[in-house]
Amino acid sequence: MSAFLKLGFNKVVVDDLHKLTDIVEDPLRNQPVITITNHESTMDDPVMWGVLPLRMRWQPRMVRWTLGAQELLYRNPAANAFFALGQTIPTVRGDGIYQLAVEIALRRLADNQWLHVFPEGRVNQGTEMLRFKWGVGRMVMESERVPIVVPMFIRGMREVLPLRQKVPLPRPSPFTSVFYMRVGDPIDFTPELREWKRKRAFLTTIEEKEALDEAVRIAIVDRMWGSLDALKTSSSDSVIAAGLNP
């Protein structure tokens, strides 16, 4: 993917990558990491990881896990092996937040792994982000240790792989294509989770606990959406300077 970016794109601009690499590479880190990004094309992952430094590519614990649509990726034995080796968890879209994929993701987080999520749940090439799915909220709430959540904004892949084309093949141009990424500040959900557990301890019925859990999940994904949207807005000048429409 690094070669794909270098050979297929006229310009690759990455702002504040250290905010991700410093966290993932920290030998003293005792928390899992969740990165969240807008979703411009079916090739956002793995293309975006081509910007990572070479030193991270040979260490399995510094390679992200991610969730991928089972019906699109896991279609035959060869594809199954490829995406499994690529640390992609098969996800059944529409099966909700209590499906096996989320359970597997929680196991990876329990091992302090790095998990990447596209919380919009599908490719979105519009100008506004979609409402985030609640599954990532459950991951934050039920992780054994509070995860470090890092928002990331990407731009440029919708021109390379637009949804409108009949054949879903990327069309990068070494003369015109631009890829932009910006990493935001980590989000700490410790206060929200501490308050959620405090309130839950006083509830007695399943219905009350489920209502509280749902409200907290919504609050968590709303904060994620707000953080990523703010990162998108603050990146607009850099995106324009790189040669893209914001």
* Interval 76-116: pLDDT, tens: 999 999 999 999 999 998 899 999 999 999 999 999 999 99
Of the candidates 179, 172, 184, 109, the one whose C-alpha atom is nearest the C-alpha of residue 139 is 109
- pLDDT value at position 213? 97
- Token pair in block for residue 198: 């405090």
Strand order in the sheet with 33-37: 11-15, 178-183, 148-155, 33-37, 114-117, 65-69, 88-91
Q: Give yes or no for a contact between 105 and 118, defined as CB atoms under 8 angstroms apart.
A: no
And the tokens for 132?
């985030």
**pLDDT value, residue 166:** 80
Supply the pTM of this predicted model: 0.95
Amino acid found at 186:
P
Cross-strand pairs, 117: 36
In the chain, the domains with their CATH numbers are: 2-242 (3.40.1130.10)
Percent of the chain with pLDDT over 90: 92
Average pLDDT in the chain: 95
| 205 confidence band (pLDDT: 50, 70, 90) | very high
Of the pLDDT bands very low, low, confident and very high (cuts 50, 70, 90), residue 156 is very high
Q: How confident is the model at residue 59 (pLDDT cuts 50, 70, 90)?
A: confident
- Per-residue model confidence as pLDDT tens digits over 162-204: 998 888 889 999 999 999 999 999 999 999 999 999 999 999 9
